Amino acid sequence: MNSAVTIIAFPVVELINFIKWWYGAGLLAMFAYLGREIKEGERKIGFVAWFKALGVPMYGQWDWQGRIISFFFRLILLVWKAVYELGWLIIHLLIVLIYILLPISSLAFIFYHLINLSM
| pLDDT score, position 118 | 66
| pLDDT score, position 100 | 93
63 backbone φψ class: left, alpha, beta (φ>0; ψ -120 to 50): beta
Which positions of the chain have pLDDT values less than 70? 1, 118-119
d(CA 77, CA 69): 12
Which residue ranges make up each domain of the chain?
2-118
